[in-house]
């Protein structure tokens, strides 16, 4: 079965924190943050500690479900898998996916979280695709979201200015048209043509971790024990250099897997960590910067939320047309990195 994204949703907290707001709290400036990262403002969650990510995830998932329902004969009863990619769950357990399943009154299907920081959404999308391709389920709800504001040391200007909170959701479903195409033909020739068509629409993924990058990006503990606060630590320059080297490499790998070229990609939806990283990747791939949409200026780095939030914004702005070939790429703690090619 060939999985496709049939609907998207996203949710950002109400509260906007500008660079000037931060410069009143720490030794930084709007000019430094803008020129080094492209960020102008970010959204920071103010909800009750235990429900921060759940609230954002519910809003994002409900928006995606409403879009799927408006688009055709879809019912939430069809969801056969619930995945949440996050490194900032509201509680150690139960998993965010189980709590989301309950909040959305979803069927009693497999629901679990995936933790791979900024690469988490890509890993969850890959997992959901594998479930659908293998026939384990036909439709999956995949949420990526983080409330990094809980993990930040607000006295550390090296990290605090970079992140924002937010969640995005997609509904991934077996594409009926291609199921029909694959089963419609009778002759050997027709069957082979159907298989080729389905194969062309199959999403491809390449996912890696160097496994040795702990020192460059880590957080030792969760914030559940308020007496032992732990915050994120980062070697920004190392992560920057890693991203600029590895993202074009893994995009090249997935393009080869998909049998396509960078020129055929309608849009590159990259993890939003730093606008300068996006520019450097565009340059290395020799593609125009217009092919690299961004929302980092408004959202900052929303960790696992960044790609699905951007996808939802593009979708709702009518910038994604059915049949477009998209390339997604993410990177982060691990150090992990990956890319996907999928047909919209
Ligand atoms: N405001 C003002 N000055 C700041 C600052 C801030 N918010 N944060 C750091 N600085 C200072 C540092 O103290 C340092 O000063 P020093 O040279 O006197 O020691 C200097 O700015 C650092 O400059 P530099 O290392 O040249 O910055 P940079 O161009 O590498 O940009 C990052 C720093 C963090 C923006 C950049 O490295 C980056 O984006 N890295 C990737 C981070 C990332 O994406 N993390 C998430 C991965 S998913």
Q: Whose CA is nearest to atom 21 of ligand 1?
A: 158
pLDDT at residue 48, as a whole number: 73
pLDDT at residue 327, as a whole number: 98
CA of 158 to the centre of ligand 1 (A): 6
Start-to-end C-alpha separation, the chain = 16
**Mutate which of 236, 243, 278, 279 to test ligand 1's pocket (most atoms within 8 Å of Cβ)?**
236
Q: Give 36: exposed, middle or buried? Use CB within 10 Å, 0-12, 13-18, 19+.
A: middle
Q: Whose CA is nearest to atom 33 of ligand 1?
A: 236
What length is written for the chain? 344
pLDDT at residue 184, as a whole number: 65
**Residues 20 and 130: beta-carbon distance below 8 Å:** no
Cβ neighbours of 50 (radius 10 Å): 10
Ligand 1 environment, Cβ below 6 A: 28, 32-33, 36-37, 118, 157-158, 161, 234, 236-237, 239-240, 273-274, 301, 332
Burial 178-190 (b: 16+ CB within 10 A, else e): beebbeeeeeeee
pLDDT at residue 224, as a whole number: 67
CA of 238 to the centre of ligand 1 (A): 10
pLDDT at residue 145, as a whole number: 98
Instruction: List, in sequence order, every residue forming a beta bridge with 11; answer none if it has no partner.
Output: 167
pLDDT at residue 227, as a whole number: 62
HSE-CB for 61 with a 13 A CA cutoff? 29
Q: Tell me, what DSSP letter sits at residue 289?
A: G
Ligand 1 atom with the smallest distance to the CA of 118 is: 48
Q: Whose CA is nearest to atom 34 of ligand 1?
A: 236
- Region at 272 (left for phi over 0; alpha for psi -120 to 50; beta for the rest): beta
DSSP letters along 210-266, please? -S--GGGEE--S-SSSTTS----EE-HHHHHHHHHHHHHHHHHHHHHHHT--GGG-S
Q: Whose CA is nearest to atom 11 of ligand 1?
A: 158
The two beta strands, 165-174 and 81-85, are unpaired
pLDDT at residue 71, as a whole number: 82
pLDDT at residue 31, as a whole number: 98
* Nearby residues of 183 by Cβ (< 8 Å), 6 or more positions away: 194
pLDDT at residue 154, as a whole number: 87
The rounded average pLDDT for each run of 10 residues, N- to C-terminus, in the chain (344 residues) is 94 97 96 98 86 95 97 91 97 96 97 97 98 96 96 90 98 78 69 73 93 88 68 90 97 96 97 98 98 98 98 98 95 96 95
The Cα 144–Cα 146 span in angstroms is 7
The Cα 116–Cα 127 span in angstroms is 13
**Residues 57 and 84: beta-carbon distance below 8 Å:** yes
pTM equals 0.95
CA of 45 to the centre of ligand 1 (A): 24
pLDDT at residue 181, as a whole number: 61
* Residue in 225, 222, 270 with CA at minimum distance from that of residue 250: 270
Ligand 1 atom with the smallest distance to the CA of 239 is: 41
């Amino acid at each position: 079965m060939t999985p496709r994204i049939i609907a998207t949703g996203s949710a950002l907290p109400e509260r906007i924190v500008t660079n000037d707001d931060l410069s009143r709290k720490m030794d930084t400036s709007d000019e430094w943050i803008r020129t080094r990262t492209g960020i102008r403002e970010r959204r920071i969650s103010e909800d009750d500690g235990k429900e921060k990510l759940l609230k954002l995830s519910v809003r994002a998932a409900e928006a995606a479900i409403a879009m799927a329902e408006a688009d055709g004969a879809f019912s939430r009863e069809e969801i056969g898998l619930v995945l949440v990619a996050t490194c900032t769950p509201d509680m150690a357990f139960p998993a965010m996916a189980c709590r989301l399943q309950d909040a959305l009154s979803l069927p009693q299907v497999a629901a679990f979280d995936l933790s791979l920081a900024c690469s988490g959404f890509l890993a969850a999308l890959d997992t959901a695709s594998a479930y659908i391709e293998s026939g384990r389920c036909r439709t999956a709800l995949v949420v990526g979201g983080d409330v990094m504001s809980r993990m930040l040391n607000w006295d550390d200007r090296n990290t605090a200015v970079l992140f924002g909170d937010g969640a995005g959701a997609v509904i991934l479903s077996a594409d009926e048209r291609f199921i029909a195409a694959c089963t419609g033909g009778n002759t050997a020739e027709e069957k082979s043509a159907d298989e080729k068509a389905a194969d062309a629409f199959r999403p491809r993924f390449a996912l890696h971790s160097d496994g040795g990058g702990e020192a460059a990006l880590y957080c030792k503990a969760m914030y559940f024990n308020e007496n032992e606060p732990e915050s994120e630590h980062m070697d920004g320059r190392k992560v920057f250099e890693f991203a600029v080297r590895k993202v074009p490499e893994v995009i090249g790998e997935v393009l080869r897997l998909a049998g396509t070229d960078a020129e055929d990609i309608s849009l590159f939806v990259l993890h939003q960590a730093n606008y300068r990283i996006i520019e450097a990747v565009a340059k290395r791939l020799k593609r125009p910067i217009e092919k690299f949409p961004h929302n980092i200026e408004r959202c900052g780095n929303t960790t696992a939320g960044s790609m699905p939030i951007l996808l939802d914004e593009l979708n709702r702005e009518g910038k994604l047309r059915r049949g477009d070939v998209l390339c997604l790429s993410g990177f982060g703690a691990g150090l992990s990195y990956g890319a996907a090619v999928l047909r919209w």
